[in-house]
Structure 1
Amino acid sequence: MQQILDNRTKGAVGEYLKKQIDKGAKLSIVSAYFTIFAFDELKLQLSNIKDLRFLFSEPTFVREGNHKEHKEFEILKHKRETAISELGMEIRLKNNLSQKSIATECAEWIMKKVEMRSLTKQEAVQGNTFLVSNKNGEHAAIVGSADFTTNGLGYGTHTSLGFNMATSDHNVVEQLLSSFDAVWDDPTMTTNVKDQILEQLSNLFIENSPESIYMLTLFHIFRSFVEESDANHRIQSAIGLDKTEIWSKLYHFQRDAVIGGINKLEKFGGCIIADSVGLGKTFEALAVIKYYELRNSRVLVLAPKKLRRNWEVYKGNDISNILENDRLRYDILNHTDLSRTSGKSGDITLETLNWGNYDLVVIDESHNFRNNEPAKGRMTRYEKLMQDIIKTGVKTKVLLLSATPVNNRLNDLKNQIAFITEGNDAALAKSAGIRSISSTLNQAQRKFNAWSKLKDSERKVERFLDSLGMDYFNLLNTLTIARSRKHIQKYYNTEEIGEFPTRLVPINIKSDIDLQNQFPSLEVINNTIRRLKLALYSPLSYVLPEKRSEYSQKYDKQVGDGKGIFKQVDRESSLIHLMRVNLLKRLESSVHSFGLTVNKIKLAVDSMIHAIEQGQTMYDPQLNILDLETDEGQLEELLIGNKVKVLIQDLDLIKLKQDLLEDRKYLQTLFNAAHQVEPSRDTKLADLKQIIQQKNQIQINEGNKKIIIFTAFSDTAEYLYGQIAPWIKEQYQLESALITGDGQKTTLKGIKTEFNLLLTHFSPLSKGLSKLNASTKKEIDILIATDCISEGQNLQDCDYLINYDIHWNPVRIIQRFGRIDRLGSVNKAVQLVNFWPNVALDEYIQLEARVNNRMVMLDISATGEENIIVVDGKSSMNDLEYRRKQLQQLQTEVLDLEDLSGGISITDLTLDDFKMDLALFIQEYPKKLESMPTGVHALVPIPDKVKNECVPGVVFCLKQTTNSNRDIESSGIYPYYLVYVSDQGDIHLTHTSAKAILDLYKGLCNGEEQVYRDLCDVFNNETKDGAKMDVYTELLEQAVTSIIGVNEEKGLQSLFSLGGTSILGDKINGLDDFELLSFLIIK
């Protein structure tokens, strides 16, 4: 008798088998899949059979000799091998958490009654077959599409239509058995895989260590990272990158950055390399450049003018070029060249340059492009870069380099990312699930603003990260590579990369100004500075009322896409506040610099008074500022001001002149006070000489007398060089050099005063002096410099750095120290010396705050430059406390950027630590995670270190199996979800806090290689060895319910937002829409 079984209206395969299998029957099955849940459905019948021969119809658990098999085959083979517990719709059964007890029973049954073999070649046998031979001589067979799964047997929730023919015809069944026997008994066609099946099953019921479950969870969440790692070797070797000079000079961690950067450039069109100070971003970028040059791509490097030489040295036909063999050929332009339309930049003629013909643009110090403020009547550098280079001509990939692309203003990333996406806000929607870049950044900024207003005791970085959600993390992990110094030390072999030098406790020096104590106190000087109106810098505030609208029309700018106006008069008001601060900072730097600056302002005031007196008699009613080209030479006598020109006749000259005369009086007082303090009376200079003498007498590294002296001002640098260089040469026969943005000098005879040459003679080992045909091999030991060398320079021969003045921004101090505090240094220890004003820290901060009035500097802006905002009194007090705490830290320790109190570093915002945990585990156990089934668990106690963040409960890792584009937004690790549910069923951490859950997971499990047997015994007793999992199934349902609830809430928010989407489509229905990957039980 024959019948059709379609697993729907015409009968199910499983029900037919139940009727046909008698006690003591012999079974023979051919199927591509075997699952424990199919066994569970037929357990009653299968337990009573005599034996079963199971033949995998495709190679399964077979070690292939041919390594050239297609990757598609390997994926299908792996799917068959892991399908024992996780195929298709059997997810629903696994989510009942009963697989442990089922696997135990199934393994016992297989050991007693089952033989299992696999075909060794693909497609050697077609179709699936079930053969039943009962003791009474009755036979049955099923041939067709059904495999040994719940879906194949007809028990799945979404069972597909089957095509199966069932027969009990004795002759037909005998012929099928004969064919089966012929294959089964042929050793050239099949191999025994029973042991492998039992081993796979054992993974379902053995106790797992916390670390293995942590790694399994990471393995699934970061599967794409694992696949990218597999592709790394192909990138290196396919095009010959691994044979280049630059590749040979990279540390392992730098090579990882290069490969990761290339992957992001190819996949997303851009990448931000944001490794911390001193980790070699330039060399990483050079390797990326070489990769694209090997592909005949045209590359442009855009660098700040002061860093241009850093890039030029690696492409020149010059013996100082350590990468000469690579023949790098990229073009170099300064950031400022984007504002030019003519002339030359190096050997590039700007008039004829084909701006749109670059395949890759590398932007060094990309944070300089964080703002995109429009300029009236001209194209800004930002617009030039976007329109003429990135959007025009060939498709351009963009590599951004910055140690500080994000800090206090998370939105600083917006304009930098726009270069990668060509301004398309939805560019990452398909590739990374980020529907709106601007919305993601704006939301993160709002969270940051709320966090930054908290009291200092509450403003913890962890609290901010917990509030941030995953969307921002997802954006950063999509486009950035950011490793901290601690990350490198933790995850990479220090024997290969060398050690960082030991940072000695900073030496703090508080110097008075005048050895004769005749210079006024800082309080008196401060009060005089505050009296300055500095009318010279705010001519618009003196424009006659009837003329103000004309000047507003000429100079005010629209901002925020036309939503606001930035008034020039407000800009001038800000400038005055800056000038007052600048005067105080000049005095803090050196009394000499202060005197020069005061005198320059006084001379400019005299010049304006003279211009007013000359122009008072000239009046022409026909003149209107809107009609004039202010650079016309014949009008010079009628105008005052520099960039912002004002007609003298449009000013309230009486008030302006009165304020200028008053300013001149105060400026003269300040100049007289400074002028009397000659170098012989300069206390701070005397203290500096004493420090240099001590360094020469006792070195912290034997024989090393090198010192870098940093100052923020070129005036101070010139002054120090003039006083220190001849003295140090006479006293200790040491050579000195001066490097500022304005030029260079040296006492070393016989060499050119060229920027790189001076640095090479100062740091001969790191700069390769021995390779030069230099006229002398003598060294420079004292280097006096401004911040033109505070970035991008390796000067690690030196072990002693002096900050002659403390920059307002602590980031700049860290960047300066990064010149000598570097990986692989020849020095065992490095020393930082800071000069401070001779006042208490609190008094110093209040002093600056009063000078600055209502304008408060945000300390760690992403640019390392001052960022001015207007704040209320409460915020001002918070920022002052924030500043005080940072400066207090700098007095007691040398910090990394990510360690600055209250600051947010990009290294806080990436998931790289978890990826590295996974990479190191796979390196040690290459195949373990691939072979581990899903739906497994581990138990772990709550240790003291995280007891305040943890509660007894379960962390579930789920994968969404239905397609729902809307839900991508709710999890930065989509389609994966992590939910932490307490034992009481409360949601301790939702899936939107995936970063916080991963941090706890790491703290609980990383390094926990042993199973907690006592916890397992209690758990197995409570659950009857996994058979009674109702309590945990309910917690799992709570986790899924929370995901649905949060997503529906987000859907409502989307519905009522601009450009929102309906919440009605693509709904998640419940547990059946998810697959359980792992769960961690926390006791």
Structure 2
Amino acid sequence: MPRIFDNIDLNLLPILQQTLASSYRADFCVGYFNLRGWRYIAEMIDRYSGGLGNCCRLIIGMPIDSRHEINAIYNMRSQPRGYGDLGEIFIDKETALKRKQSMAQELRTQLTRGFPTNEDEAGLQQLSRQIIAGKLKIKLFTAYPLHAKLYLAYHNERLHPNNPRTGFLGSSNLTVSGLQKQGELNIDVLDHDATKKLEKWFQDRWNEFGCEDISQEIVEVIRHSWARTELIPPYHIYLKIAYHLSYEAIAGSKEFMIPAEFAEILFDFQKAAVQLAARHVTRRGGVVVGDVVGLGKTMVGAALMKIFDDDYHLSTLIICPKNLVNMWQSYVDRYRVRAKIISISKVQKELPKLEHNYRLILIDESHNLRNRGGKRYRAIADYINKNTCKCILLSATPYNKNYVDLSNQLRLFIADDTYLPIKPERFLREFSNGYNGEAEFHSKYNCGTHTLGAFEKSEYADDWRDLINLYMVRRTRSFIKNFYTETDRETGRKYLLFQDGQRSYFPDRIPKAIKFPLTETDPYAQLYSPEVVEVIGSLNLPRYGLANYKLPRPKQAPNEGEKKQLENLSRAGKQLKGFSRTNLFKRLESSGIAFIQSLRSHILRNFVYLHALEHNLEIPIGTQDAEFLRVQKDEDLESIIDSLEPEELEDSSGEVEVSELSNYPEHSIVNYSQQAQEIYQIYQQKYRNRFKWIRADLFKIKELKKDLLSDAQALMNILKTCGSWQTKSDQKLLALINLLTKKHPQEKVLVFTQFADTVNYLVGSLQSLGMAQVDGVTGQSRDPNQLVTRFSPVSNGRVGDRAISPESQIRVLITTDVLSEGHNLQDCAVIVNYDLPWAIIRLIQRAGRVDRIGQQAAEIFCYSFLPAEGVDRIIKLHDRLLQRLQQNAEVIGSDEVFFEGEDYQEYQQITLNLYNEKAGTLDEPEDNEVDLTSEAFQIWQQAIANNPELETTIKNLDNVAFSTRSHSPNLDQPEGVLLYMKTSSYNDALVWVDREGNQVTQSQVAILKAAACSPDTPAIPRHKLHHELVEVAKELVIEAEKQEGSKLGKPGGVQYKTYYRLKNYLQNFPLFASEELQKAHDQMYKYRLQESAIDTLNRQLRLSISDRQLSELVLSLWQDNRLCFLETEGAIEEPQIVCSLGLFTGN
């Protein structure tokens, strides 16, 4: 009786191994062949001598997988060529060859699944050697499906006369599962006659037409797989990682065509930004274009608007600073984009009144929305949420020193519960030291680990770099120089090449000092004294600290509205005091006239309060005299200091309005009181709605009056001491005149100052001396863009414009920092810092206005005004003011954060460097914050540009490939393995484990940097732990996938959202629930979406497709077999290993 081998009571494999051990040749015929399964019998086959009659012959009977077989059997419309009744077989050589090629590809794909092991690697290499040695011959049966499973071993008849052949017949394929890991039904065949007939049957199949030798193809499959004997260069693994990480950029370049209007004017790096940003917008709902100053973000934004207008019929709502409105209008007109433009200062009024629901919003200088508690922020966020808008944010400084600045901008289009494919793992590692897992994190912080809220808990740059990669396109000047420029052979300078052949060089910034004397007769020197600084530091500033004067128990208790006002006063007081004090000092540094005007305004405001208190009138608070001061045509930070809206303090780039009366009275209490009475009446009668009003009897009137009058008298004493301003004695002004008439009499010069008062003073003084072509720009200029184009017509595309004749052009433009961002001024190569902003970034931004694409000069001269005696006086005065601020526990605005610790020391050093004209002082700070996708894309692009053959080599490098290179470990970068995988939802997953199997990081940025190496980096032999560590890393990814979601993926994913929207649609509209639609819906629950379906559905979901349209789209994809990957025999529901790189010492 035959024995039954079912792998339950009796396993087939050990008996088969024993039988083969005593054989000299064998014939196998199986339906399916798993290359990894060969190692279980390879040792026995190794004993064969090889050659005809002394080898193992193997027939693979199923040239197509079982899914195709079933289709062939049950397809009522047609049958594949070659599949009639078996008695009527027809097959030609061409069809046989195609099936042979298909099987070779299937076997190649086999080795890209699962994970590598030492045993499998040795077994596969042994399989290849046996074929080469003639010990194994493999054929593919292509004539028809051959599902037979036969194992026939031949023994030496002299040694085994009673058993020359042993057969096993049944159901087991030559696979790991078929031989031992799943239930089967096999019997042994020992009968002489039966085995003889089986031998003949096998021989007939072996010789049958359509049984094609596939041995060499299998050798090639193994030779190109991870199990190859040849070492793969580490550089190839590095490029494979870069290639896959740059998928978004590559896909964007294929998915989005650059509009014809932009094809000839955008540089390659700008085109790459447009295409990547467009993909982010369609897939993720928004993008931050964060290229550094001067790289053309405005052009990128304009091209993006054109793409979404042309391809998706979306008109755009542009929100920008008021001084950029006309510039954006010119872009809209020039490129025929459907768009509406609103100044950011008007969003609260304008957005609720918009009749058209814009689905795409572009926000220029989006860093102005860093505070999500602000009124403007809320107005914009409400509009975006209401209309499900996609967002394009433009900012060269998306965050300053606080990463929450960035997250607040991202929150404009990312909801609190949006599931992100990454988490702040560096922070979570620290968190896990004191807590147990993600559940406790959620309990403590009330948010998931894969949300924006989780990232806001982290202060680690690595965490934020990973987040930036998802939503930002950011390149630096050094990045552009390294990857996109050409080099001038004569000078060695880097340049970009325009379409017309012109070159745009990257100029050097040359710091120059204008050293003006401070003499005893100089009115500026009289003001710039320790005594004046002491007065500023000693001011009470009661208007900005009203909370300190609140009555604890007023006679008439405050109502609810007044209570809220009093609470706001308490919250803002110290910040406003510090801001006011530093603002006075900055005006003093700017110019004497600006300081004097500010003192007069400050005195007058105090007397307005005194007038209200003396007559028991309401006190005007908030933006106290903003509208009145606008009428007076002057600007200063103080006009909005009273506002409790922090973003208001930042909106006008360091310049705000102040009151200036054309004929100020003599500096006496009587005259100021009379003037204050008139202004108070104007406030009450004409501008009452502009302010918040509060009862005077809620405060300690006597104490408040005393401090208001004390400050006013101290400031009046300064004015009396310095007397009237004498322009002819102003040494700083005279030094500027000398620069404009002697050093640069013909060149265009851009003069920066922080204050409009200084702008007006300089413009008036220069024009009074007869200097032509001089003009000024402030926040109150009606059309800054018109002045910009007159100053820099070439860079603004206005060459030949009749409206800008040579006579009407501006040679010297004097401006506040209102032009320090967002404008093209690169016709000029000389800038002047008439005063030094305390925020260092402003100095660099000023230089960046002219150091932009299109600058023709090799050098940009950056002049800064400093006292000839040196910078000691400046530093001492700063120290004194800082000491006073600290004594008062006052804080100042975010732009002045350098006034603390190391940042203040840095400011002092930069001031000294400017005085000494030290090279590099005004260069862009070292910035490596490039988004990972752009960086990976350029690594890939540069590599294939240097060696075009690499493109084919890397793309043909099969998954699971690995290499090892020598590594010098340290605490943060230990020995171990870098693993790159694709998750079941096709997300990128990178993990670094050390040699003990502990996770080092999953940061894509860190892992790409760790993998970096040069083309000539040698590979070293694989470490014995490599494959084991790959499996450990794989399990980490799988475990994370289990925790993160079900078969539908994550709650924020395309499959999850599509499934549940369809579920609701089918429940609410059962009449539309066709049988086919229900099947498509069920398929989405069981199987994962195809990659093309993910792209299609995601794009439409972002465009707010209706439920009915979504159902039609899903049904169409299902009918075309383009919806899901259907599971097949042997399919692996695991993430797919792409590649791995070992980092070991090599000892």
- TM-score with structure 2 setting the length: 0.69
Counterpart in 2 of 1:1068? none
Counterpart in 1 of 2:1011? 1001
What amino acid is the match of 2:859?
A: A
Q: CA separation in 1, counterparts of 2:850 and 2:410? A: 31
CA deviation profile, 1:1031-1079 (whole Å, cap 9, x unmatched): 667777887899999999999xxxxxxxxxxxxxxxxxxxx99968332
CA deviation profile, 1:45-91 (whole Å, cap 9, x unmatched): 2552525456595589xxxxxxxxxxxx9999897354464533xx2
Counterpart in 2 of 1:991? 1001
Match of 2:283 among 264, 267, 285: 267
What amino acid is the match of 2:231?
A: E
Q: CA separation in 1, counterparts of 2:760 and 2:932? A: 43
Q: CA separation in 2, counterparts of 1:881 and 1:99? A: 61
Deviation at 1:330, TM superposition (A): 1.4
Q: CA separation in 2, counterparts of 1:549 and 1:78? A: 92
Q: In the alignment, is the contact (CA less than 8 A) between 1:273 and 1:400 conserved in 2?
A: yes
In the alignment, structure 1 residue 311 sits paired with structure 2 residue 328: yes
In the alignment, structure 1 residue 392 sits paired with structure 2 residue 413: no
CA RMSD of aligned residues (A): 4.8
Q: CA separation in 2, counterparts of 1:410 and 1:909? A: 15
Deviates more, 1:302-311 or 1:193-202: 193-202
Relative to 1, partners in 2 of residues 1:727 and 1:10: Cα closer, same or farther, differing over 3 Å?
Answer: farther
Counterpart in 2 of 1:821? 851
Q: CA separation in 1, counterparts of 2:567 and 2:909? A: 33
In the alignment, structure 1 residue 413 sits paired with structure 2 residue 413: no
Counterpart in 2 of 1:402? 395
Relative to 1, partners in 2 of residues 1:183 and 1:269: Cα closer, same or farther, differing over 3 Å?
Answer: farther
Q: Which runs of 5+ in 2 are unaligned?
A: 49-53, 66-98, 158-163, 426-437, 487-495, 620-678, 1046-1133
Relative to 1, partners in 2 of residues 1:672 and 1:125: Cα closer, same or farther, differing over 3 Å?
Answer: farther
Q: In the alignment, is the contact (CA less than 8 A) between 1:589 and 1:711 conserved in 2?
A: yes
Counterpart in 2 of 1:231? 251
Match of 1:106 among 118, 127, 144: 127
CA deviation profile, 1:4-59 (whole Å, cap 9, x unmatched): 86655564468547636864425465666653563364332255252545659558
Match of 2:376 among 366, 369, 381: 381
Q: CA separation in 2, counterparts of 1:1079 and 1:205? A: 16
Q: CA separation in 1, counterparts of 2:891 and 2:558? A: 29
What amino acid is the match of 1:576?
A: K
CA deviation profile, 1:169-190 (whole Å, cap 9, x unmatched): 6546644653454354579xx8
> Equivalent residue of 1:927, what SS?
helix
Counterpart in 2 of 1:197? 221
In the alignment, structure 1 residue 781 sits paired with structure 2 residue 776: no
Q: In the alignment, is the contact (CA less than 8 A) between 1:639 and 1:647 conserved in 2?
A: no
> Equivalent residue of 2:860, what SS?
strand
CA deviation profile, 1:214-234 (whole Å, cap 9, x unmatched): 3344456x3xx42x3443344
Query: Equivalent residues in 2 for 1:956-967 (5 A)?
Result: 956-957=978-979, 959=981
Relative to 1, partners in 2 of residues 1:979 and 1:202: Cα closer, same or farther, differing over 3 Å?
Answer: closer
> Equivalent residue of 1:668, what SS?
helix
In the alignment, structure 1 residue 508 sits paired with structure 2 residue 509: no
Counterpart in 1 of 2:176? 150
Counterpart in 2 of 1:685? 733
What amino acid is the match of 1:1082?
A: T
Relative to 1, partners in 2 of residues 1:172 and 1:897: Cα closer, same or farther, differing over 3 Å?
Answer: farther
Match of 1:979 among 993, 1012, 1015: 993
Match of 1:835 among 837, 855, 865: 865
> Equivalent residue of 1:419, what SS?
coil
Counterpart in 1 of 2:751? 709
Counterpart in 1 of 2:957? 932
In the alignment, structure 1 residue 331 sits paired with structure 2 residue 340: yes
> Equivalent residue of 2:835, what SS?
coil
> Equivalent residue of 1:106, what SS?
helix
Counterpart in 1 of 2:835? 805
Deviation at 1:568, TM superposition (A): 1.3
Deviation at 1:534, TM superposition (A): 2.4
CA deviation profile, 1:354-408 (whole Å, cap 9, x unmatched): 36x222111212222221226xxxxx22222222x22224x32122221222231
Q: What's the % identity of the aligned pairs?
A: 21
Deviation at 1:687, TM superposition (A): 2.0
Counterpart in 1 of 2:649? none
Counterpart in 2 of 1:428? 420
CA deviation profile, 1:907-955 (whole Å, cap 9, x unmatched): 1675643453245446642232343355655454457xxx877877333
Q: In the alignment, is the contact (CA less than 8 A) between 1:101 and 1:205 conserved in 2?
A: no
Q: In the alignment, is the contact (CA less than 8 A) between 1:6 and 1:164 conserved in 2?
A: yes
CA deviation profile, 1:693-748 (whole Å, cap 9, x unmatched): 45426xxxxxx71111111111111111112345473xxxx62232211126xxxx
In the alignment, structure 1 residue 743 sits paired with structure 2 residue 781: yes
What amino acid is the match of 2:129?
A: E
Larger Cα Rg: Structure 1 or Structure 2? 2
In the alignment, structure 1 residue 257 sits paired with structure 2 residue 273: yes
Query: Equivalent residues in 2 for 1:112-151 (5 A)?
Result: 112-113=133-134, 114=136, 125=145, 127=147, 132=152, 134=154, 138=165, 140=167, 146=173, 148-151=174-177
CA deviation profile, 1:137-160 (whole Å, cap 9, x unmatched): 7475767673x5434543xxxx45
In the alignment, structure 1 residue 481 sits paired with structure 2 residue 486: no
Q: CA separation in 1, counterparts of 2:148 and 2:298? A: 59
Q: CA separation in 1, counterparts of 2:39 and 2:588? A: 85
Q: CA separation in 1, counterparts of 2:804 and 2:844? A: 35
Q: CA separation in 1, counterparts of 2:317 and 2:14? A: 66
> Equivalent residue of 1:791, what SS?
coil
Q: CA separation in 2, counterparts of 1:513 and 1:438? A: 59
Match of 1:721 among 750, 757, 763: 763
> Equivalent residue of 2:857, what SS?
coil
Q: In the alignment, is the contact (CA less than 8 A) between 2:367 and 2:405 conserved in 1?
A: yes
In the alignment, structure 1 residue 297 sits paired with structure 2 residue 319: no
Q: CA separation in 2, counterparts of 1:260 and 1:591? A: 50
Q: CA separation in 2, counterparts of 1:802 and 1:634? A: 39
Q: How many residues align?
A: 903
Relative to 1, partners in 2 of residues 1:635 and 1:484: Cα closer, same or farther, differing over 3 Å?
Answer: closer
Deviation at 1:268, TM superposition (A): 1.7
In the alignment, structure 1 residue 595 sits paired with structure 2 residue 596: yes
Q: CA separation in 1, counterparts of 2:456 and 2:424? A: 20
Counterpart in 2 of 1:661? 709
Relative to 1, partners in 2 of residues 1:770 and 1:371: Cα closer, same or farther, differing over 3 Å?
Answer: same
Deviation at 1:807, TM superposition (A): 1.6
Q: CA separation in 2, counterparts of 1:75 and 1:266? A: 38
Q: CA separation in 2, counterparts of 1:569 and 1:894? A: 44
Counterpart in 2 of 1:210? 234
Deviation at 1:485, TM superposition (A): 1.4
Deviation at 1:548, TM superposition (A): 9.9
Q: In the alignment, is the contact (CA less than 8 A) between 1:980 and 1:1039 conserved in 2?
A: no
Q: CA separation in 2, counterparts of 1:827 and 1:382? A: 40
Q: CA separation in 2, counterparts of 1:850 and 1:663? A: 19
Counterpart in 1 of 2:667? none
> Equivalent residue of 1:425, what SS?
coil
> Equivalent residue of 1:204, what SS?
coil
Query: Equivalent residues in 2 for 1:22-171 (5 A)?
Result: 23-25=23-25, 27=27, 34-36=34-36, 38-39=38-39, 41-45=41-45, 47-48=47-48, 50-52=55-57, 57-58=62-63, 80=106, 82-83=108-109, 85-88=111-114, 91=115, 94-95=116-117, 97=118, 101-113=122-134, 114=136, 125=145, 127=147, 132=152, 134=154, 138=165, 140=167, 146=173, 148-154=174-180, 159=181, 170-171=196-197
Q: In the alignment, is the contact (CA less than 8 A) between 1:300 and 1:360 conserved in 2?
A: yes
Q: CA separation in 1, counterparts of 2:1006 and 2:113? A: 31
Q: CA separation in 2, counterparts of 1:921 and 1:124? A: 46
Relative to 1, partners in 2 of residues 1:601 and 1:1031: Cα closer, same or farther, differing over 3 Å?
Answer: closer
Deviation at 1:248, TM superposition (A): 3.3
Q: CA separation in 1, counterparts of 2:25 and 2:724? A: 113
Q: In the alignment, is the contact (CA less than 8 A) between 1:709 and 1:783 conserved in 2?
A: yes
Match of 1:768 among 797, 803, 814: 797
Q: In the alignment, is the contact (CA less than 8 A) between 1:268 and 1:428 conserved in 2?
A: no
Q: Which runs of 5+ in 1 are unaligned?
A: 61-72, 342-349, 375-379, 449-463, 559-564, 619-630, 698-703, 745-753, 869-874, 1020-1025, 1052-1071
Q: In the alignment, is the contact (CA less than 8 A) between 1:274 and 1:906 conserved in 2?
A: no
